[in-house]
Structure formats: C-alpha cells, structure tokens
Amino acid sequence: MPKLIIYDTTLRDGSQTEGVSYTVNDKIKITDKLDELGVHYIEGGWPGSNPKDKEFFEVMKGHKLKNSKLAAFGSTRRANIKAADDANLNELLASATPTVTIFGKSWDLHVKDVIKTTLDENLKMIEESVAFLKKSGREVFYDAEHFFDGYKKNPAYALKTILAAQKARADCIILCDTNGGTLPEEITAILKVVKKKIKTPLGIHTHNDQDLAVANSLAAINAGCVQVQGTFNGMGERCGNADLCTIMSIAHTKLSRKSISDQKIKLLMDAAYYISEVSNYNLASNHPFIGHSAFAHKGGVHIDAILKNPLAYEHINPELVGNHRRLLTSELAGKMPIVLKAQKMNIQLDKNSPEAKQIMQELQEKEYQGYQFEGADASFELFMKRRLHLYQPFFHLHEFKVLTEKKPDGTVSAHASVRLKVSGHEEMANIEGRGPVEVLDRALRTALRKFYPRVENMHLSDYKVRVLDTKAGTGARVRVLIESQDEHDSWTTVGVHENVIEASWEALVDGIEYKLLKDKK
C-alpha cells in the first residue's frame, strides 16, 4: 500500500480563517515546525495574490528545509492569453519553489458564470498552464476545484477537465470538495469512476461545511487517493478544512497508512498547539487525539477501569500522538510528558519522585490559570529549573510603573520606570517611547545593561495577546506570548494575568532570564 502523502495548506487556506492574520515571521515559524514534524509538502501561499506571500517566498529562497518541500499556489492562466504571458504563472516560477500547485475550474457553472469563458477555453487553460509549468522543470499539482459538485452536475465535462491536466503531465491531480457539500458515499462512488479514467496519482482536498471533511478525506484515501490536503487544527474559511491532525492520527493508528515515522507522529500534539499559539487560534480541549481532554477521564467508573486496563476507555495509546492520559480526580496523571521534556533539557527526573509529583501539580494549576507552554518552551524550561532549584534569578524587582498619555493633538506616548536589585545593588531606569510594552522592555534592559551587557544583543521580535475568557469582558485574563531574538536564535515566553501589562512584564522577564541563562551555559 503506498505511503500517504501529507500536503499542508495551513499557510494559505488556513490563513483564510476568520480572525487569523499571519506575518511573514509567523509563516516562517509555522513552516519550520511543519518541516520538523516531517510534513511532505507545505503550501506557503499565493505569491501572485498579495505582497506578503511574495515576500515570504523571497525570504524562503535562502531558508533551507530538512524534510519538507515548499509549494507555491496559484491559478491557471486567464482566458484568451498565452500561459507565458500570464502574470500569475510567472509569479509561481519566480517563487523558485520545487513544487507549484494550480487550481482550475471543474464545474461548468463556474466556467460560464464566474470566469465567463467557454467550456473549450477552460480546458485549454488547464492543459496549457500545467504544460507551461512542467516545461520549467517543476513538480506540478493540479487542484480540480469544485470537482465533486461539477461531476454531480455534468460528469462528462468534469472528467474532461482532469483529463486535460493528465494530458499535460500533472504529477498529481487533487479532487476538491470546495463547497464541503459532498457525502462520503458520493466521494467513494465518484472516485471509483475516476480511477478507471485517470492513471495520474490522485489526491483529495475537502472542506468541513457539513462536519464531514475528515470523513470525506478518509473515504477518498480508502478509494485510492495517495495525497491528502488539509490544515492543522482544521483551520480555514467558513467551517474550515480537513483537519490533518485527525487524518494523520487515524491513518497512522487505524489504517496502517503511516505518513510520517512513529517517532515524528509523537510530535503531533506539540506541533498542533504550537501552530495554534502562533496563529492566535484557540484549539478546542476536546479536539480528537491531540486535545488536552482527548484522554482525560473524570468519571469514577472510568478511572477505576483505566487503572486496571487503559484499553477499557481509550481507543489508542495517547502517547502514540504525543498526548498523555489525565485522571482528573487523581494525582497519577500526566507525569511522563514532564519527564520527557526534562530529558530534552538534560534534566533527569524520575516520574515517581516527589519532585515530579509536585511539578505536575503546579503545572496543572498553571494550566488552570491559562498558561500554555507548548508555544513557549523558554518559559517552560525556566518553570522546570525554578521548581528543581537549578538556577538563581539574575535580578529581583522592587517595582515598575507604566504611564500612557494621550495629548490634545492626538499624539500618544508612554513612560516606564523600573527599579531592580541586581547583585546586591539597586538599579533604576526611566524610559519614554510610544507604547507601554516597548518602554517597559527598554527600561528593563537599560537597568540591567551595566551588569549584563549582553541583553543589548537581544530584541523583542513578536508580541501576541489572547483573551482567555471573553465572557469576562475587559476584566478577562489575557495570555501574552513574546518572541525574543538575538544573533543566534529566538525563543518564546508566556505571561498570564488580568492586567495585560503584568502579563507582558512576566513574559519580558522570562525572555531576559532565558537569554542570560543560555549565554551562561
């Protein structure tokens, strides 16, 4: 049975999620995380549609990936022009990615009513566009947009569109349920016909408008599709795309269609939460396989059975996908992830030790308060070392003050003062600037500069705020994620509080403490 090829479109389809907006830096961070996981293809965006995606591909020309191939996305040529003259196709070539993916129309309704051309011209657009890109030496994937809707309305024409892509030697033809309105049994029946006509490898791309994107993808895989497209955490426009986290988990544990190695799949939960944090997108606790509650047991009967035999109430071993069992009325749950993370930091910790038990209790309390460390490894390392008394703080706070002022002319300014105790000495700094977090950051580093001059080699490179309980309104707790960077690497820290400045302060302090700690190693 062929290996299942994973094609991730979080950075393109996922970016169309309401409320999600990626910076170029966000896209690079997610790309690196997907590459670490071993996803086969990462669709970086549509360089012909917006400057941000174009900049991303320019940056990525000097950014080597270890496991994944980067793909640029676009459309077939416009009607009634040559492929070589089409700006969109030329942008795809300029992106210099090894793989390009283009979509074309499969549904005669779209041909006539949306792009307003003839059915014959649409077939030429598909064939000539694929052929033009293939001539450049690229691997070319063809997304047959609205294929299933088109097939149900006009099967003969829908088949002609993918035959045109096959004639032009597309490397894979992906059948798309773009409106998300197809049922699994329809997917199976249509693919049975398509497989008789098409010899090119097939893929599937589904949307979740009926909550069937995963089911439809699995039906297509079982019917012979070798590539599956989707997004992490099911992100996407409207109701989202097929959730790769669920598909990869099911394929790996239930279908014997492993997409990545046994070791890599154990990183799945970590990757999902990391992408959630960078996207500022809430991942549901009850998300199958990777949610914090996916293997949480609360009922007394359940817990009694789980302690005797986990198979009694768990359909897989949660560690297979990087998750862990949680017994919500017991202190026995969840120590192994702590032990594993400790090992990564060269800290040997016995899961049965009092230290592990105490750390787990404190971590559960932190999570209850709103902390999440999946996307803030620097804060997690500091948390562990503080609890295990493995380092001394580099400074202590006496007090800080932040004032923001708006003047009649509309100008806004901020002032921060910080008073610290460093190596037995009291140190103060006063800074003025534009924003409260900016001046607080600068004041903190100014006060430390005399004792730790290397803090000047770092800077804040990203800042995100998430409201944790929207029902609480302006009194809600917020989680602040701060990414810091120096000339060698970057790291992320987290702070949580009802006061956004205090949450920011906590993340800023962790960022500097981590910098000083890693430089000391």
Among the candidates 433, 451, 469, a domain finishes at 451
Cα–Cα dist 108/163, whole Å? 15
Q: State pLDDT tens for residues 170-224.
A: 999 999 999 999 999 999 999 999 999 999 999 999 999 999 999 999 999 999 9
| Greatest extent of the chain over all pairs of C-alpha atoms, in Å | 82
Where would I find the beta strands (DSSP E) of 9-145? 41-45, 69-75, 99-105, 139-145
Q: Is residue 484 part of a domain?
A: no
Task: Give CA 313 to chain center in angstroms.
Answer: 29
Among the candidates 436, 451, 466, a domain finishes at 451
One domain, residues 229 and 308? no
423: alpha, beta or left? (left if phi > 0; alpha if psi -120 to 50): left
One domain, residues 190 and 321? no
Q: Is residue 126 part of a domain?
A: yes
One domain, residues 306 and 264? no
One domain, residues 171 and 310? no
Q: Is residue 352 part of a domain?
A: no
Cα–Cα dist 167/343, whole Å? 53
**Could you please report the per-residue DSSP string of 435-450?**
SHHHHHHHHHHHHHTT
One domain, residues 252 and 316? no
Which pair of structure tokens corresponds to residue 76?
Answer: 């077939």
Q: What percent of the chain has a predicted confidence (pLDDT) above 90? A: 71
In this predicted structure, what is the pLDDT of residue 329? Answer: 40
One domain, residues 218 and 247? yes
In terms of Cβ atoms closer than 10 Å to its own Cβ (0-12, 13-18, 19+), residue 451 is middle
In this predicted structure, what is the pLDDT of residue 139? Answer: 98
Quick check: 508 and 441 in contact, CB under 8 A? yes
One domain, residues 263 and 233? yes
Pairing of strands 99-105, 139-145: parallel
Contacts of 180 (CB under 8 A, 6+ apart): 206, 207, 208, 209, 210, 212, 213, 238, 239
Q: State pLDDT tens for residues 245-265.
A: 999 999 999 998 999 999 999
Quick check: 446 and 429 in contact, CB under 8 A? yes
Q: How many domains does the chain have?
A: 3
Q: State pLDDT tens for residues 337-369.
A: 566 667 767 777 777 788 878 888 888 788 888
Mean pLDDT of 438-455: 93
* Domain hosting residue 313, numbered range: 295-331
Mean pLDDT of 309-324: 91
Cα–Cα dist 145/45, whole Å? 17
One domain, residues 169 and 68? yes
One domain, residues 136 and 223? yes
- Nearest of 243, 182, 175, 246 to residue 210 by alpha carbon: 182
Task: Give CA 209 to chain center in angstroms.
Answer: 21
Using alpha carbons, list the distances in angstroms from residue 331 to 21, 205, 296, 349, 372: 39, 43, 13, 17, 20
Average pLDDT of the chain? 91
pLDDT band at 333 (very low <50, low <70, confident <90, very high): very low
Q: Is residue 361 part of a domain?
A: no
pTM given for the model:
0.74
CATH number of the CATH domain containing 253: 3.20.20.70
Cα–Cα dist 217/459, whole Å? 43
Q: Is residue 375 part of a domain?
A: no
Residue 46 clears pLDDT 50, i.e. is over it: yes
In this predicted structure, what is the pLDDT of residue 330? Answer: 40
First-last CA distance in the chain:
48
Q: Is residue 501 part of a domain?
A: no
Q: Is residue 117 part of a domain?
A: yes
One domain, residues 172 and 304? no
Tell me which of 272-281, 394-403, 484-493 is least confident: 484-493
Using alpha carbons, list the distances in angstroms from residue 177 to 105, 113, 161, 208, 215: 12, 19, 15, 9, 12
One domain, residues 197 and 224? yes
Among the candidates 279, 307, 323, a domain finishes at 279
One domain, residues 261 and 314? no
CATH number of the CATH domain containing 316: 4.10.430.20
Q: Is residue 16 part of a domain?
A: yes
